[in-house]
Amino acid sequence: MVINHDPSAGRPGSPERFRAAIAVVFFWRQVARVAKVEKKGKSSSKKNAGVPVIDRPLPKDRFFNRELSWLAFNQRVLAQAADESVPILERAKFLAITSSNLDEFMMVRVGGLKILKQRNPTQRDPTGMVAVEQLQAVAKKGHEIVERQYRLLHSEVQPQLESAGIVNIDLDQASETELMAATARFWRDVFPVLSPQAVSPDSFPLLQGLGVHLFVRLRRDPATRLGTAPEIADTTEGVERRDDEPRDDCEYALIPMGRALPRVLPVSGDNRHGYILLENLVSHFVDEFFPGREVVECIPFRLTRNADIEFREDAASDLLGGMEEILENRRFSRPVRLEYGATASDEAVELLQRVHHLHAEDLYPIDGPLDLSFLFRLHSEEGFDHLRDDVWPAKPHPRIDPEESMFATIAAGDLLLVHPYDRFDSVVRLIEEAAVDPDVLAIKQVLYRTSKNSPVVAALEKAAERGKYVTAIVELKARFDEARNIEWAKEMERAGVQVIYGIHGLKTHAKVCIIIRREPQGIVRYMHFGTGNYNEATAKLYSDISLLTCDEVLGRDATSFFNAITGASQPRGMEELAAAPTTMRRRVLDLIEGETQRSLQGGRAQITAKLNALVDTEVIDALYRASRAGVKIRLNVRGQCCLRPGVKGISETIEVVSIVDRFLEHARIFCFHQGGEEKLLIGSADWMPRNLDRRIELLVPVADRTCADRLKEVLEIYFKDNVSRWQMGPDGEYRKPSRGDAPAIRSQRVLYDRVVQAWKKAESSRRVTFRPISADS
């Protein structure tokens, strides 16, 4: 083979001959390396020859990164905003959701990674990445998401809103009527409230996280400068200077938008629903705040601060006071992200970056309004129902009779409610009835997140005021709901409720209410177990499960569980319930291993699970082992999934789907085939280390046949969905399967329609039922 036609190539010492020799050496080294790898592979094969497939070592690349998996979920939500079949105000809402989701991710997950980078920079996650590598990967994906958000806003969402008459007014192009209305609003409502603040690079104030501020660069107006010597020539005269060029005579100021004024301000005129954002209105009139100054630049910016602040319970004598201190510290913790108007000068960006100690990947130039959560406000505007989803009113469970006591209904048989299609009011009604029922002796309840004006809290207070024994475990460490929970805890204590502020070192996340009632046959425990919070507001938006029962065994277990928490002791052995962090992990692993062994013995084995996140490596490895044994595994994971499905020899029998639709999928449901004697369970915990090891959670079996059958139907419909279902591939990418000519199956719509049909049937039956009038009625 001729390498070079140059006659000088063969001369000793020539560069060409030297390079050829190097190439030959490199070639044989590669050959030797390949041979070594092949030999090692053969040796490894021989080593594993007698080892059962399920016991062979798993590859190191079997996990996906948790943070990138979460960002992939936010991309699926963003895809809803891009879906042209979704009404335009719903698309705007999904944009707002992705924005608020990203805020929380930055505060908690990125904040945690930055702390890890400082404290333990060499620690690797299950994928082998150290903190700095994760931060770089997250920043790259985060910038991609933000870029797509604003591309959608400008190219599709905002133009369609304007076509429908919902217009973001640009005062430079506004009509005379709109400009007059905006001017009046500024002088009447805005100017008297806001105050500018002079700042310098050496004296920069602590700014509240997630608040919108204006950064203003100023020069003194030459006409108003005092003490200028006219005889001294200006040596810069005639030299063109750019506005973004640093100047010694520039000064800086901030105008915080604060929280006292609404961000979305209506602007009437021209027969359209006009609005202007507060920061845009102030920017338009910014000169009014600085008389005698020339405004060189005015740009909006927003800081995101680290919310992953640890609370040292071992060093705190007062949990309530400690949590209040955490809330105060969170307001001024280290910034993790800076968002700013894309037109900002280099000088402004460099200053803001320097004073807040941020890296280049923490900077997010925004081509549009900062913080798209203002779109929630537009979504709720009256008069635009045609731009929103059709309303799906929740229905009462067909067995719940408004004229019959909830206790009588539950005593007649367990009830399974599927929210938000079945009304959550039934759960609230049970607690409200318990508060005034003279036969109710005690109520025990865990509260993790509640609504602003919670009827559940009001019922507990009423019960305590009526002399009932009421105990509430209020989790003060529920992130971003700490302030509300502290307020509720104090209020309930004043009403006479025995309040327990969670457990040392753990978050109490279980969803359980126990009502102890005196009946002719003795004491009966009525219980509610759920997968969601006691929050009637989010119960209209989240897909969750409730189980109402007076099962004696579950009652004993629930009481043991609750008293162990309040008494700071170990729970007695429970017959049916499994609790984290004591028995739940072992129960889950045993259930998975049970299916593995059945498959190895030639029996049919199957696991179906619906949960919000799958991150725990021990559980994932158990699922890999089950798959290698031939167990069919179907996982409906809404968000983070670190398991790699469909990999030959590892997870061939595992399918992972994710449902993203109008309601947030939040229920945790599990089904293990168990040789045909299927075991159905609901729970408060995802398969994550924090849930299994660092939280107090419950896993509850659903034994009633009717309830179990309905629960199985709910599980199954998600895997038939061909509208809202995303399929996860071995590469970690999510794709929507092609529907082809098949009829559309939208799981949430199917679940709602089934509830409506059952309700109509029950209502029809009640209309033909004769009810005798008693003397007491």
Residue 494 identity (one-letter amino acid): R
State the Cα–Cα distance between residues 436 and 14, nearest whole angstrom: 101
Can you tell me which residue has the tokens 């102030």? 282
The two structure tokens encoding residue 738: 């092609």
Q: Which range (267-271, 467-471, 576-580) has the least confidence?
A: 267-271
The two structure tokens encoding residue 102: 């990203």
Mean pLDDT of 682-711: 97
- The interaxial angle of helices 584-600 and 617-628, nearest 10 deg, is 10
The two structure tokens encoding residue 370: 């900062």
Q: How confident is the model at residue 770 (pLDDT cuts 50, 70, 90)?
A: low
Which own/partner pairs from 193-197 qualify as long-range (CB within 8 Å, at least 24 positions apart)? 193/258, 193/260, 193/261, 194/255, 194/256, 194/257, 194/258, 194/261, 194/282, 194/289, 195/255, 196/253, 196/254, 196/255, 196/289, 196/290, 197/253, 197/254, 197/255, 197/256
Q: How confident is the model at residue 512 (pLDDT cuts 50, 70, 90)?
A: very high
State the Cα–Cα distance between residues 456 and 40, nearest whole angstrom: 65
Angle CA 65–69–73, to nearest 5:
175
pLDDT of residue 238: 43
3 state SS of 245: coil
pLDDT of residue 709: 97
pLDDT for residue 146 is more than 70 = yes
Catalytic residue among 509, 528, 666, 673: 509
pLDDT of residue 12: 43
Q: How confident is the model at residue 358 (pLDDT cuts 50, 70, 90)?
A: very high
Q: Which residue has the higher pLDDT, 752 or 35?
A: 752
State the Cα–Cα distance between residues 447 and 473, nearest whole angstrom: 6
CB 662 within 8 Å of CB 90:
yes
Respond yes or no on whether the N-terminal peptide bond of residue 581 is cis (omega within 30° of 0). Answer: yes
pTM above 0.75, yes or no: yes
Mean pLDDT of 590-602: 97
Q: Which residue has the higher pLDDT, 545 or 222?
A: 545
Give the DSSP letter of residue 203.
B
State the Cα–Cα distance between residues 604 and 158, nearest whole angstrom: 53
CB 335 within 8 Å of CB 232:
no
pLDDT of residue 164: 93
CB 219 within 8 Å of CB 251:
yes
Residue 599 identity (one-letter amino acid): S
**Is residue 723 packed enough to be buried (19+ CB in 10 Å), middle (13-18) or exposed (0-12)?**
middle
pLDDT of residue 502: 77
Give the DSSP letter of residue 403.
T
What's the pLDDT tens digit per position in 617-664? Answer: 999 999 999 999 999 999 999 999 999 999 999 999 999 999 999 999
Is 154 a catalytic site residue?
Answer: no
What's the pLDDT tens digit per position in 521-538? Answer: 999 999 999 999 999 999
What's the pLDDT tens digit per position in 262-306? Answer: 999 999 776 788 999 999 999 999 999 999 999 999 999 999 999
Cα 538 from chain centroid (whole Å): 13
Q: Which range (14-18, 43-47, 633-637) has the least confidence?
A: 14-18
Mean pLDDT of 222-248: 45
Q: How confident is the model at residue 5 (pLDDT cuts 50, 70, 90)?
A: very low
What's the pLDDT tens digit per position in 113-123? Answer: 998 999 999 99
pLDDT for residue 57 is more than 60 = yes
